[in-house]
Amino acid sequence: MGIGGAGEREILKLGDRSTSDVIVRVGTPGRDCSFYAHSAVLRPRSSCLAANLAKGSDSILLGCCEEDFDYYVILLRIFYAMQEDFSSGSCGIVAEECCNVKATIGVAKVATELGCEAIVEKCFKFLEGIPWNEGEEEEMLQALSAGICSSDDPVLARLRTVDSAVVREVFLSAIIAATRESDAGVSIKRKVSAQEQIEYMLVEDDDAPLITSDSQIKLAFREKFCELFHRFKDVITIEGGGAETFEDAILEKLADVAWASRVLSRLGSLDELVLAWSDFSPEIVFVFQDPALSSGIKLKVMEITSKVLEAVGYGNVLIPPTQRTGLVKAWLPFVRDMKMVLLEAECVEETMLLYNSIEAAINSLVLSLPSDDQGVILAEWLKNERASYPDLSEAFEVWCFRSKAAKRRLSCG
């Protein structure tokens, strides 16, 4: 091989037959490619290749599976690029040759097999500094399980389980961000993101919830829910339904309460919503029965009401009989009148699912009332020609059976 002038060194090139002193064959069951290479480049960068060269061989076979073929070729190119990379800590050549997470992990894998510690280090330094998507993170975990990177590698700090104290701090901070009143000084995007991620952290899907509720978390959220609900009440009380800007003012407040109701349900604190909503039901019904209000706003009201009726009707939240009776009397006419309005304006399938849930909950709720109150409500339902919804036939049949049984018990007693 020729050497350049004083102070210079010749940069060798992969595939240069005129200066090559060794052939590297990368072979799979389906193909076999040969590369004219140089022992001076291979020896210092791979302990495995150096061992082969020490035997005096001028041809080296690197057998691999099809999916690793490209990674071996990239690794050879990196060997040659390292001639010009005088900074041992630089991972620029990896970034240039690999481009993405999958290729970098693949190169790190074959580099580990060939004893290329410096290149493996560069690969993981590059990976540590770039973002990963979910699929790429799974590939990183597989690389870890395969022993490609060491247990003290900085890249693992992004894969380890987050400390529970940090999760708690993030969650409590997210509650604050999610319940701020939107104005010029609050980012709507940040608020919406906080609300979405709070639900995600609590949900049990394919994975366990990220955080488990306890008394501190419940108390923190209850306090913020009270603030949200007071803002909702203030808009209704101060502006009422007649103001032109009422819909704009109330829509965000309703969305906040609807979101909070889902979170309270996951925290096992739905009683907070039930008590607030039932106490304020007459005012809510009075305002939102206004025909001028959009069906979208009324649908949001019904979604929240459905949660309340289900919680009380199925006994998940206990309130006194007088409040249960008041709840039925306040909402029964409203849900009846709103059904056709919403079916005409909204997604029929979505609205019907909601109304089926409400109908079942009201039947259950009516049956939880004192017998005389049940009778009054059922009598009004039977007399009303327009009362096709909700259908209280189930509650009526059970009331008749129980009333007859009670009379029999009294006569026998």
Residues 30 and 141 in one domain: yes
Residues 135 and 243 in one domain: no
Last residue of a domain, which of 141, 158, 175?
158
At residue 188 the predicted structure's pLDDT band, cuts being 50, 70 and 90, is: confident
Task: Please tell me whether residue 241 adopts helix, strand or coil conformation.
Answer: coil
pTM beyond 0.85, yes or no? no
Residues 125 and 254 in one domain: no
Query: Measuring CA to CA, how many Å separate 174 from each of 115, 165, 208, 216, 218?
Result: 46, 14, 19, 14, 14
In a domain, 67, yes or no: yes
Q: What is the pLDDT of residues 143-174, one digit of tens each?
A: 777 777 665 567 777 877 888 999 999 999 99
Express as a percent the part of the chain with pLDDT over 90: 57
| Closest to 302 measured CA to CA, from 267, 268, 346 | 346
Pick the more confident residue, 392 or 409.
Answer: 392
In a domain, 276, yes or no: yes
In a domain, 176, yes or no: no
Last residue of a domain, which of 123, 138, 158?
158
pLDDT exceeds 80 at position 306? yes
pLDDT exceeds 60 at position 45? yes
Residues 219 and 338 in one domain: yes
Residues 229 and 140 in one domain: no
Other CB atoms within 10 A of residue 29 CB: 9
At residue 346 the predicted structure's pLDDT band, cuts being 50, 70 and 90, is: low
Task: Please tell me whether residue 280 adopts helix, strand or coil conformation.
Answer: coil
Residues 369 and 246 in one domain: yes
What is the number of domains present in the chain?
2
- Whole domain around residue 75: which residue ranges? 22-158
In a domain, 186, yes or no: no
Q: What is the pLDDT of residue 321?
A: 95
In a domain, 392, yes or no: yes
Residues 152 and 222 in one domain: no
Query: Mean pLDDT of all residues in the chain?
Result: 87
Residues 269 and 133 in one domain: no
Contact 378, 399 (CB under 8 A): yes
In a domain, 40, yes or no: yes
Last residue of a domain, which of 95, 123, 158?
158
In a domain, 184, yes or no: no
Residues 104 and 27 in one domain: yes
Express as a percent the part of the chain with pLDDT over 70: 90
In a domain, 193, yes or no: no
Residues 110 and 219 in one domain: no
User: CATH number of the domain that 64 lies in?
Assistant: 3.30.710.10
Report the residue count for the chain. 413
Instruction: Return the biggest CA–CA distance within the chain.
Output: 121
Pick the more confident residue, 371 or 10.
Answer: 371
Residues 262 and 335 in one domain: yes
Q: What is the pLDDT of residue 206?
A: 80
Residues 145 and 54 in one domain: yes
What separation, in Å, do the N-terminal and C-terminal C-alpha atoms of the chain show?
Answer: 117
